[in-house]
């Protein structure tokens, strides 16, 4: 019931449209209720007397009422559709805003396809319920109430007979609604899984084809699609059976009214016209009764969808901005970690009691094997995650006391896993500064050693790249990401293994460029290569979230430990697997 109330509250965000729809609904139903009355009067007043002029007058009046009913029904349909589209528009925007503000920790545990299903199919289910279910349910109640009122005024005995089907309708609706709600929740969950499979397959289509796994992917998709198909057929079977049972019982009641009505006419307590009213009033509620199965199905689906949507809207973000957070202005770039520990949501401890300081304009190298925790250290600076204990400060200010926008505007990150948008090269570079001029974009591309490549393209900077930059090589994507970050011109720069996808010549050119870019900035260099950090002001060797060595290159190569071992091995003609080196040194 709580979810149903929240769905109704969404509709009441647009009271003018909804009230207008209810006004047109009331007017349309009012005219609908007057039609059986007019038909009954026609039987008693005209057919009994046999006056042709009165018959024409009643016919014209009934035709006018039908016309007015149609006009107001159009208004009801139009306004309800308008209101539902506004709800859909607002709800999708709320979901997108929520997704934009949820932390990395939330997205680490979610499937993209399921989130997409919530923002599309589930929102559409709620929209359909507001457009059809709410008003049609109201229409049934209005027609039932109005019809029963008129019937009791006309003949209370027949009215009691006509009411005999109401307990059955309530019982049947409750049973079917419970079954359909469980079924639709299952369907929408499986639909989210199906969307995930489709999204992953399309994104990783090259991997699928490289391993010849097309049939395997088809089977995964077919299994989920079959489950959705079977469950949807089952919901249709429940809905159809419910509708059929309603119509049958309604027909039994109508037959009982005909029989008892005949007896009432014989006894003189009912006129033929009044019996005609009864029959037509019962016919008036036939269509809504037939629609009851659809409405129950619509309601069950909307509540199931609402449960999933509100679960996302209510999801807490572990990265919250303080109400009195201050704006970071022109930071010098002194970054301090004081007894910092970090535990991910799955309970895995990734950092343990780290303490170090990076002075303004210094370069700090974080060296370690994959999974050692070096990237997690860098992610604490822009508050992608929050430390479970200890403090991370910039110029002495705890990052948790800064506004997220101002903090992240002053921390530039070039991630190892580069993500590019399906847009032009210029637009992707300018993502670092949406107000940048074309000259600034070109200047950043030149520093990233990408301008020459772009300039040789037929469309230059207006060249469209494929989804996730699929038309570019790994090195080109990496350089574009570097150019995008440089355009932000941040005082604190984080380079997460930025040269891993570059060839030797481009890597050398890029290092020369980055050495100039890093001047005047506090820079974190995350890598597993010694030569990437050998000129750093300080180097931290990370292992299982702990600093096992620290110092400058000249000092570390003289000490026994992982750094010297990796240094010596990387000077060999064939570089061994670095992770194996770290593991062997740890075991020793």
Q: Give the tens place of pLDDT for each residue, 457-487.
A: 888 888 888 766 667 777 788 788 888 888 8
CA-CA distance, 120 to 312, in Å (whole number)?
13
Distance in angstroms (rounded) separating the CA atoms of residues 468 and 461: 17
Question: Which has more pLDDT, 507 or 17?
Answer: 17
Spatial distance between the Cα atoms of 68 and 77, rounded to a whole number of angstroms: 14
Q: What are the Cα distances from residue 564, in Å, to 530, 559, 579?
A: 9, 7, 15
Q: How far apart are CA 367 and CA 129, in angstroms?
A: 56
Could you tell me if 114 and 153 are in contact, meaning their C-beta atoms sit under 8 angstroms apart?
A: no
Which pLDDT tens digit goes with each residue over 382-408?
998 888 899 999 999 999 999 988 998
Q: Residue 59: its pLDDT value, please?
A: 81
In this predicted model, which residue has the larger pLDDT, 369 or 47?
Answer: 369
Residues of the chain with CATH 3.40.50.300: 322-410+490-588, 418-488
Higher pLDDT pick, 227 / 513 = 227
- What is the pLDDT, as a whole number, of residue 391? 93
Tell which residue, 134, 171, 126, 131, has the closest CA to residue 301.
126
Q: Considering only 50-64, 93-107, 540-554, which range has the smallest mean pLDDT? A: 50-64
pLDDT over 90 at 143, yes or no: no
What pLDDT was estimated at residue 576?
46
Asked whether residue 193 carries a pLDDT value surpassing 60, the answer given is yes
What's the average model confidence in pLDDT over 22-36? 86
- Over the chain, what is the mean pLDDT? 81
154: confidence class by pLDDT, cuts 50, 70, 90: confident
CATH number of 418-488: 3.40.50.300
Residue 453 has pLDDT above 50, yes or no: yes
Pick the CATH number of 2-313 from 1.10.10.60, 1.20.1560.10, 3.40.50.10160, 3.30.950.10: 1.20.1560.10
Closest CA to 246 of 175, 142, 185: 175
Asked if residue 82 has pLDDT above 50, the reply is: yes
Give the residue-averaged pLDDT of 564-575. Answer: 68
User: What are the structure tokens assigned to 499, written together?
Assistant: 């040269």
Statement: residue 50 has pLDDT above 70: no
Q: What is the dihedral of CA 174, 176, 182, 186, to 10 degrees?
A: -160
- Angle subtended by helix axes 52-101 and 15-41, to nearest 10: 160
Cα 342 from Cα 375, distance rounded (Å): 12
pLDDT tens digit string along 481-528? 888 888 888 899 888 876 665 666 666 766 766 776 777 889 999 888
Q: 52 pLDDT band (50/70/90 cuts)?
A: low
Q: Extract long-range pairs of 565-574: CB within 8 Å, 24+ residues apart.
A: 566/367, 566/528, 566/530, 567/530, 570/529, 570/530, 570/531
> Which residues, at least 6 apart from 338, have a Cβ–Cβ distance to it below 8 Å?
355, 390, 391, 392, 393
pLDDT reported for residue 575: 43
Cα–Cα distance for residue pair 580/587, rounded to 1 Å: 10
Q: Tokens 């989210």 map to which residue?
A: 192
Q: What's the CA gap between 414 and 378, in Å, rounded?
A: 11
Tell me the C-alpha distance between 513 and 474, whole Å.
19
- Residue range(s) of every CATH 1.20.1560.10 domain in the chain: 2-313
Helices (H) and strands (E) in the chain, counts: 23, 10
Q: Would the pTM of this model clear 0.75, i.e. be above it?
A: no
Structure tokens at 144: 């039932």
Contact 275, 261 (CB under 8 A): yes
Task: Give the torsion sign (CA, 312, 316, 319, 323).
Answer: positive
For 233-286, the pLDDT digits (tens) are 888 888 777 777 777 877 787 788 888 888 878 887 877 877 887 778 777 776
Residue 318 neighbours by CB under 8 Å, 6+ apart:
103, 105, 106, 345, 385, 386
Of the two residues 542 and 107, the one the predictor is more confident about is 542
Domain over 322-410+490-588 is classified CATH 1.10.3720.10: no
Query: Dihedral sign, CA of 339, 343, 347, 349?
Result: negative
Contact between 528 and 537 under an 8 Å Cβ cutoff? The reply is no
Measured over the CA atoms of residue 448, residue 452, residue 453 and residue 459, the dihedral's sign is positive
Residue 287: predicted pLDDT: 65
At 585 the pLDDT is 52
* CB atoms inside a 10 Å sphere around CB 454: 23
Grouping H, G, I as helix, E, B as strand and the rest as coil, residue 133 is helix
Report d(CA 93, CA 99) in Å as an integer.
10
Q: Report residue 341's pLDDT band, with 50, 70 and 90 as the boundaries.
A: very high
The pLDDT value given to residue 469: 67
For the chain, percent of residues with pLDDT exceeding 90: 8
Q: Is the CB of residue 378 less than 8 Å from the CB of residue 366? A: yes
Rounded distance between C-alpha atoms, residue 141 and residue 288, angstroms:
9
């Amino acid at each position: 019931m709580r979810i149903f109330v929240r769905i109704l509250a969404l509709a009441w965000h647009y009271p003018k449209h909804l009230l207008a729809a209810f006004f047109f609904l009331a007017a349309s139903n009012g005219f609908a209720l007057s039609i059986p009355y007019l038909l009954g009067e026609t039987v008693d007043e005209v057919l009994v007397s046999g006056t042709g002029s009165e018959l024409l007058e009643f016919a014209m009046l009934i035709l006018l009422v039908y016309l007015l009913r149609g006009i107001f029904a159009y208004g009801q349909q139009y306004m309800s559709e308008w209101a539902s589209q506004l709800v859909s528009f607002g709800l999708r925007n709320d979901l997108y805003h929520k997704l934009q503000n949820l932390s990395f920790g939330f997205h680490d545990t979610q499937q993209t396809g399921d989130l997409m299903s919530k923002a599309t199919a589930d929102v559409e289910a709620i929209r359909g319920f507001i457009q059809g279910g709410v008003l049609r349910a109201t229409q049934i109640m209005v027609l039932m109430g109005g019809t029963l009122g008129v019937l009791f005024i006309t003949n209370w005995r027949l009215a009691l007979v006509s009411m005999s089907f109401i307990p059955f309708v309530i019982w049947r609706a409750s049973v079917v609604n419970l079954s359909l709600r469980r079924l639709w929740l299952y369907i929408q969950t499986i639909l989210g899984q199906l969307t995930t499979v489709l999204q992953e397959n399309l994104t990783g289509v090259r991997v699928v084809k490289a391993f010849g796994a097309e049939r395997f992917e088809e089977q995964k998709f077919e299994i989920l699609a079959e489950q959705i198909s079977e469950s949807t057929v089952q919901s249709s079977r429940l809905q159809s059976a419910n509708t059929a049972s309603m119509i049958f019982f309604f027909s039994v009641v109508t037959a009982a009214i005909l029989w008892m009505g005949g007896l009432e006419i014989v006894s003189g307590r009912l006129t033929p016209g009044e019996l005609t009213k009864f029959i037509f009033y019962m016919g008036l509620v036939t269509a809504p009764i037939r629609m009851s199965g659809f409405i129950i199905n619509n309601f069950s689906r909307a509540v199931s969808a609402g449960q999933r949507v509100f679960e996302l809207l209510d999801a807490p973000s572990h990265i919250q901005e303080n109400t009195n957070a201050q704006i970071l202005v022109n930071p010098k770039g002194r970054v301090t970690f004081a007894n910092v520990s970090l535990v991910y949501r799955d309970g895995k401890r990734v950092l343990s009691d780290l303490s170090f300081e990076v002075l303004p304009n210094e370069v700090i190298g974080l060296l370690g094997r994959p999974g050692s925790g070096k990237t997690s250290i860098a992610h604490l600076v822009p508050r992608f995650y929050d430390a479970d204990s200890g403090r991370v400060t910039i110029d002495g200010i705890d990052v948790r006391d800064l506004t997220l926008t101002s903090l992240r505007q002053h921390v530039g990150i070039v991630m190892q896993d580069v993500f590019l948008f399906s847009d032009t090269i210029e637009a992707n570079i300018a993502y670092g500064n949406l107000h940048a001029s074309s000259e600034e974009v070109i200047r950043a591309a030149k520093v990233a050693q990408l301008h020459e490549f772009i300039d040789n393209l037929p469309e230059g900077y207006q060249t469209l790249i494929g989804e996730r930059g699929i038309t570019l090589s790994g090195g080109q994507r990496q350089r574009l990401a570097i150019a995008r970050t440089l355009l932000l011109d941040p005082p604190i720069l984080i380079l997460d293994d930025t040269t891993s996808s570059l060839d030797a010549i481009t890597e050398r050119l890029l290092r020369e460029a980055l050495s100039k870019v890093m001047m005047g900035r506090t820079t974190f260099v995350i890598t597993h290569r010694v030569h990437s950090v050998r000129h750093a002001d300080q180097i931290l060797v990370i292992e299982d979230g702990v600093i096992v060595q620290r110092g400058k290159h000249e000092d570390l190569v003289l000490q026994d430990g992982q750094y010297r071992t990796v240094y010596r091995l990387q000077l060999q003609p064939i570089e061994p697997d670095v992770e194996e080196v770290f593991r062997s040194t740890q075991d020793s």
